[in-house]
Structure 1
Amino acid sequence: MTESDSARPLLQASLSLAASLLEAVDAESSLRAFMRVCSETLGAEGCVFLPFDEFSAALPPLTFGRVPAFDADALSRPAWRQACKVCETRRSGGDCPLLERSPEPGFVRCLPLRSRGREAGLFSFVFSAEPNLDAPVERFLADAAILTALALEAERSQPPHSIPDTGRFQPGALPQAETRVILQERARLAREIHDGLAQTLAFLKIEIGRAENFLAEGDSGQAARILKNSSRTLGDAYLDARQAIENLRRAPDDRLEGWLAQAAENFAALSGLTVETHLQLSHDFPAHVQVQLIRIVQEALTNVRKHARARCVRIAAWEEDGEARIEVQDDGCGFRPADPLAAARFGLRGMRERAESVGAEFQVVARPNGGTVIRLSIPLKATVEP
């Protein structure tokens, strides 16, 4: 079998999975798409998905294809969950709950589903004979798991299509108008995550089609280059979604200084960059003001990760002359703020409009090879209405 012949099924499987994830309507349908495509690609008898406690959707264990009879209650017990977390391949009669009741020898290949840096569940592929999974198949499985995790995270971050206005608020709750602004902002960000994932999958669908054409023509070198670029695109999309979802997790009505500290910690873990913080901010703003300040900082950090080629980032916040001041500074490659293409690429106009909407001053200080500083200043008595 030629390299072209062996690679074609994996390309077709990737395309099939991407199309199925685009059509999925909920977490279960996304998981079942992964189980079906991967089981067929690996030649597995079937697959079981075991959600761990970290998985946010309330799901029982899911099955696809032919799997040995198993005790769903046993799979839900902490001891079995812990055993599954460390499982890779086990024979019937061992500690694997999927195979202990199987009348014939069997094999299991376990693949974790990672979400937000943790294992959220485990896919267990069941084989009647010991599988021989080579390096290209292992890479396919890893990429397919990342793609499915992206789809699940985007689906979980989607808010309801409409925001009900019941007028029922607990004592001490935010004013109705501010609450609506916050929910609408979260809805907008969730749509961005979902739309960004859809665009990435559509692009990968086109690229995989191109790679298939090159393989059919016998040009495996060009196909390999396309797949390498597609893998890089998938990795970038995964980081984008991870950062956007982390941005949504913390409520924008939390204390501003605490949020900035958490944002710095999350960004350091996600990007691998050194992040320094100097936070001396005791003042808090109305929630509709804080949400805009927070999003500007988030966009600045996204730019650092994607474009700056920086090694270190500094986030500072303090009070001076009746104003709150916030800075995000990096030691990266910088750019020319007057360049309209750079301004559009880095979303400077959007950040400026956000700042102006709450009465804040927005400033960019940057030069080629000299790093970038994003500065915000806002009166401590900001009272802009939502």
Structure 2
Amino acid sequence: MQKGSVQSEISILKEIAELLNEGTEIDCVLSQVLKKLLHVTGLQTGWIFLIDDEGKHVMAASESLPPALTFNHCAKMKEGHCWCVNRYRDGRLDKATNIIECQRIETAILEKTGDHAGLTHHATVPLRAGYERFGLLNIGSPNKTHFNQEELNLLEAVAFQIGTALKRIKLTLREQETMLITERNRLARDLHDSVNQLLFSLSLTARAGEELSESTEVKQTFSYMQDLAQEALGEMRALIWQLRPQGLENGLLSAFCGYADMLGLDLKTKVDGVAAFPGNVEEALWRIGQEALANCKKHAQTRHAFIKLSITDTATTMAVSDNGCGFHYDESQELPSFGLRSMKSRTEALGGTFNLASKLGGGTEIIIHIPS
């Protein structure tokens, strides 16, 4: 490589390892490592594809792509097939190799979408840790049409470091998610065993005080205390449901029905497709559905709500609607409540889209679309 005589492979790998060991966010780590790799090797262009178990790829990082590949927000990189991705999918690509020509650049040239800046070829290396595969590292430079074995060996070593770091980050995130669920369960249990019981005792005491008192004013005070205690109990039960979704182990719709029953709503449900979700998607749908049903209870002035789930190989769509009073909503303005903004944020965190439709007297509908 151009700077191979100045900086040894060991020092390059050391710098890359230091970056990888510090990072905890995948996209940020990949972007920093790619930039560092190009800097220390003297190469100019690179991109990283993360590829899931079904063969679907996303461009997780890129550096100095030519205009031909950045055209229309990098559409050529985000869609379609190419030789390196196809070879990765069918198992033929298991080590660092030269790709004679880049199919994406070739297509861009034919379609005249921009200058390729002399980039026509690239090396491609699978990202792996043991038997686990995560995607591809692609490296190129203007007018460079071949990588020698020494260069490929270095890229393969870097790719292995990246794969190992990806595995570590994913394991860490999974552990954090497990710890979060455990902590939610503990907090829910503590609230149920302490605050919930105290509120229940307060309600009984207030009722006894009302029955034993002879003064009308004192009776009214105890009655008011009992009403407040009952209202607080209802809020506490809803909070415990949100922290610890009892019944979710029996499926998302079962949990929605139980939650709606607790709120006093008449919920109708419908499912198209097989309701099997990744844990993070199910968690997001559950939290979004909870918020939507709670809004129906508080604001819609109706007891009737409807949830429809549509599941395909490519996406999950959830629609939550009611036939209540509705409200005036201007799509050009910010969402009118923190709860709605939270639903939108949860959806977009999974690469999905959030849509709200409501009008005075015409009910409200929230549609969540999350790609698989």
Is the TM value for this pair above 0.5? Answer: no
Structure of larger gyration radius: 2
Q: Sort the TM-score into its range (normalised by shorter chain).
A: 0.3 to 0.5
Q: Which has the higher contact order (CA 8 A, sep 6+)?
A: 1
User: TM-score, with normalisation over the residues of structure 2?
Assistant: 0.41
User: TM-score, with normalisation over the residues of structure 1?
Assistant: 0.40
